[in-house]
Amino acid sequence: MKKVSPAKLLKSNPFVLAPMDDVTDIAFRKICEDMGASYSISELTSVDALVRDKVTLARYERGNLKVSGVQLFGNNPETFCEAADFVGDNADFIDVNFGCPSATVTGNDAGSMLLKDPKNVGEIISKLVKHLDKPVTAKIRLGYSKMTYLDVAKEVEDAGAEVLAVHGRTAKQKYTGVANWDAISEIHNGIDIPLIGNGDVRSEEDIDKYLGSHADALMIGRAAIGNPLIFEQFKHYHKTGEKLEYEDLKQRRKELFMDYLEELDKFEPYNPGLKIKRQSMWFFKGVEGVKHIRREINEGKKTIPEVLDIVKRF
């Protein structure tokens, strides 16, 4: 298998799609990759579910992705290694989730709960790095409730991770308030591995504010939902200093939504009803003259080819 280095990829393209549960499936990640995301990471996946139940999930498959990072959560270093073996060649690199604030995850002492004990974080990364013949990356928040980010970041670096992504909030904050980019900058100054800053990045102005000064790369989450074009726009701005505008946004969004559906049909053809309805709402958000498309898609339960027909007709 060809070796992929996330650190190297970031040097030529610093814009990464954030992992988002129930949003960034392999079809969506592929469209974002095509639009210019440097790379993407899968939705979070439980090491215990993989190892104990041997569940096969589209979320850790590589599909047609050129670069595939698979995100794992759990708390036992050995189980992480077994799960990474189970995922196998689907992953070019493994990303460890130390940020999820959800009670179902923290209740099992995983995700952001591990930020309370930086040594545990280091142990998981170090075991994986020694076990795997591929890079390991980590995604953290600033702490659980207390700020532990500097200790955690040092542990991640010393344990041999190749890249660290930081969402500038504590787990207790969930998504409230604004991301603390001063803290992200402090980490940037404190470690030598590439740092991806994350939190509230929405516009070209945010690139000016944060890229280079606060972080080596930027991770985009909510602003990319239904909007893979953001990667084309960010790349263009980064290269030229000019903003990219679209003459026919409706047409572009329609084409992208069709690409998304075709990709989804290849990898998740089963019962995708609710997912398609949500994605169609996101892809067409703020676009004028598409109410009728959304209405038709939302009527009853439809297969992917039926939805494709509706979108094509308009």
Ligand X SMILES: Cc1cc2nc3c(=O)[nH]c(=O)nc-3n(C[C@H](O)[C@H](O)[C@H](O)COP(=O)(O)O)c2cc1C
The residues assigned a catalytic role are: 100
- Give min distance, CB of 259 to ligand X, in A: 21
- Binds ligand X (CB under 6 A): choice among 62, 139, 188, 235: 139
Nearer to ligand X, 200 or 216 (CB): 200
- Binds ligand X (CB under 6 A): choice among 23, 35, 161, 215: 23
Instruction: Show contacts with ligand X in window 157-176 (CB under 6 A).
Output: 167
Q: What residues contact 212, with CB distance under 8 A and at least 6 apart? A: none
* CA 52 to mean position of chain CA atoms: 25
> Which range of residues in 48-56, 80-88, 192-200, 253-261 is near ligand X by CB under 6 A?
192-200
Cβ neighbourhood burial of 24 (10 Å; 0-12, 13-18, 19+): buried
Six-digit token pair at 265? 């049909």
Nearer to ligand X, 110 or 293 (CB): 110
- Give min distance, CB of 110 to ligand X, in A: 12
By beta carbon distance, the residue nearest ligand X is: 221
> Which range of residues in 60-68, 146-154, 214-222, 278-286 is near ligand X by CB under 6 A?
214-222
Q: Does 20 bind ligand X (CB under 6 A)?
A: yes
| Helix 249-267 / helix 273-283 crossing angle, nearest 10 deg | 160
**CA 50 – CA 58 distance, rounded (Å):** 12
Q: Does 43 bind ligand X (CB under 6 A)?
A: yes
**CA 224 – CA 206 distance, rounded (Å):** 14
Site string for ligand X, 84-123 (x = CB under 6 A): -------------x-xx-----------------------
- Give min distance, CB of 254 to ligand X, in A: 24
The tokens 């690139």 sit on which residue?
207
Element (H, E) at 198: strand 195-198
The tokens 């995100």 sit on which residue?
71
**CA 137 – CA 160 distance, rounded (Å):** 9
Q: What is the CA radius of gyration of the chain?
A: 19
Nearer to ligand X, 122 or 199 (CB): 199
Bridge partners of 17?
40, 220
Q: Does 217 bind ligand X (CB under 6 A)?
A: no
- Give min distance, CB of 167 to ligand X, in A: 4
**CA 73 – CA 67 distance, rounded (Å):** 20
Q: Does 143 bind ligand X (CB under 6 A)?
A: no
- Binds ligand X (CB under 6 A): choice among 25, 92, 155, 200: 200
Q: What residues contact 54, with CB distance under 8 A and at least 6 apart? A: 86
Q: Which residues bind to ligand X, rule: CB under 6 A?
A: 18-21, 23, 43-44, 71, 97, 99-100, 139, 167, 198-201, 220-223
